[in-house]
């Protein structure tokens, strides 16, 4: 398959359409002072998103039976400890990725 000009334009268009919705909100509120209520509410969004992603990956649905995914649960425990004590997203992500890599290597 060769790369043609329309294919490159399509990829650039997709990149722009993906990038714009992520950048425009920051550009709009950059010079605006948001009320404290809004700022407090916005602090919960990352926790809600992370919780939804994590909780979904901890369980397996086998028909009508729900079981734990023990490998994900084992990686979740050290990740949760680092998240609670450091409150650092980057450290939490690194510990989660390293924990899962080690567990997958040995199991």
pLDDT tens for the chain, 107 residues: list them: 688 999 999 999 999 999 999 888 888 888 888 899 988 888 887 777 778 888 888 999 888 899 999 999 999 999 989 988 888 888 988 999 999 999 999 99
Strand, coil or helix: 97: helix
65 and 79 part of one domain: yes
**Does the model's pTM come out above 0.85?**
no
6 and 39 part of one domain: no
Name the strand (E) or helix (H) holding 66. Answer: strand 65-68
Domain that holds residue 26: 1-32
Predicted pLDDT of residue 32: 85
In sequence order, what are the beta bridge partners of 65? 62
Name the strand (E) or helix (H) holding 63. Answer: none
Tokens of 101: 């890599």
9 and 60 part of one domain: no
Query: For the chain, how many structural domains are there in total?
Result: 2
Predicted pLDDT of residue 46: 72
Predicted pLDDT of residue 98: 97
46 and 83 part of one domain: yes
């Amino acid at each position: 398959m060769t790369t043609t000009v329309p294919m490159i334009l399509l990829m650039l268009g997709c990149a722009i359409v993906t990038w714009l919705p992520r950048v425009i909100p920051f550009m709009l509120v950059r010079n605006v002072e948001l009320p404290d209520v809004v700022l407090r509410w916005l602090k919960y969004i990352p926790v809600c998103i992370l919780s939804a992603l994590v909780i979904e990956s901890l369980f397996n649905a086998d028909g009508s039976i729900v079981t734990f995914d023990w490998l994900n649960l084992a990686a979740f425990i050290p990740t949760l400890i680092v998240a609670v004590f450091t409150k650092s997203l980057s450290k939490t992500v690194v510990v989660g990725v390293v924990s899962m890599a080690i567990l997958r290597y040995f199991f």
